[in-house]
Amino acid sequence: MRYSRSRKGAPGIVEVAARAGVSIATVSRTFSQPDMVRPPTRMRIEQAADELGYIRNRAAGALHNRFSGTLGLVVPTIDNAIFAELIEAFSARLRDFDRTMLIAAHGYDLDLEVAIVRSLLERRIDGIALVGFDHAAVSMNMLQQRDVPVISVWNFREATDIPCVGADNVAAARTVVRHVLDLGHRDIALLFPDVGSNDRARDRMNGVLQELRIANVTTAPDRLISCPYDIGEAKRLVRELVSGTRRPTAIVCGNDIIAHGAFYACYAEGVRIPDDISIVGIGDFRGSAHLEPGLTTIRLPARRIGSIAAGSLVQMSDTGMPPDTFNQQVASELKDRGSTTAV
């Protein structure tokens, strides 16, 4: 077997035109603006295209009209419950518009993000979705200079430079904390990822602190635990936390993955949820509902965000205007399941 390096056999618009006995212009129109060509002609062309196995070359078209039909999506990581749903929804929605998706992950490395944005720009994407608001100025400049539509996904804020669609992470965090406070908990441990270059985690942390302050609850320094985005590590940290004598009555986790780890830690240590300890997460990932007991958490509608973002981005690309709603908030929803109880 051998793959020709030249793709010589591939018929182009020219061959189709010859076979159908029309000009290449008409063939082009048959595929890009079908109703500009008379049905009989169109049918002849379509048949010729079929017989030759013609597949249109969008790269060539893009060269001329500067629209590639491809949108970029840049996420911190693909390998991860949260973003997977977002990605899938984004991609599926794009399909409705006959667009494709170039995707890349930067692993929370802003320099790599710059390289990625550049690489996407080299492919002349029609628009780009970035997770969150923390981005290198270089990236934003490149995008702005070329007038490429940008949308920030996942997080929501009232006033932003670029359009966004997402949930209010501050509010979400406050909601779960209030829920825990309402149940009477006062000795609350906080397991949160590093908030370095991650506005979502930062917003959540801020929300938590705000709500605690309002309730006049103080948190001892050793109750504020930095925990990476990793079940194993979360489990380890929580085992340590709950096995000692000074066990908190509740744990607020920065996301559901950490909460899962906390669950397993409690199973391992024989600590009963929610009788001995209440646990809440943020995100409502796949599986959270089916943990035993179900995880109390707040649902951030990832699919909805992905779908809306794709729609908005396509609209921006098509119209050249910002989306109808510049700052689009999607509602988060507290899922009160079995992992929390009154103290």
Q: Please report, as ranges, the residues that interact with DNA according to CB under 7 A.
A: 10, 12-14, 21-26, 28-29, 31-33, 36-38, 40-42, 54, 56-57, 60-61, 63-66
Q: Out of DNA, its own copies, none, which partner does residue 36 contact, by CB within 5 to 8 A per kind? A: DNA
Q: How far is the CB of 10 from DNA (least distance, A)?
A: 7
Q: Which residue carries 């965000």 as its tokens?
A: 305
> Pick from 15, 24, 41, 58: which binds its own copies (CB under 8 A)?
58
> Pick from 15, 56, 206, 210: which binds its own copies (CB under 8 A)?
56
Give the Cα separation of 142 and 124 in Å (integer).
12
38 vs 118, beta carbon nearer its own copies: 118
Q: Which residue carries 């030759």 as its tokens?
A: 52
Give the Cα separation of 289 and 75 in Å (integer).
25
Q: Out of its own copies, DNA, none, which partner does residue 80 contact, by CB within 5 to 8 A per kind? A: its own copies
Give the Cα separation of 253 and 202 in Å (integer).
13
Q: How far is CA 181 from CA 169, 224, 333, in A?
A: 18, 16, 17
Q: Out of DNA, its own copies, none, which partner does residue 22 contact, by CB within 5 to 8 A per kind? A: DNA
The answer to whether residues 58 and 276 touch, using CB atoms and an 8 Å cutoff, is no
Q: How far is the CB of 194 from its own copies (least distance, A)?
A: 20
Q: How far is the CB of 26 from its own copies (least distance, A)?
A: 19
- In the stretch 179-218, what mask flags binding to its own copies with x, by CB under 8 A? ----------------------------------------
52 vs 115, beta carbon nearer DNA: 52
Give the Cα separation of 167 and 159 in Å (integer).
14
Dihedral over Cα of 40, 45, 51, 53: its sign: negative
Give the Cα separation of 128 and 140 in Å (integer).
11
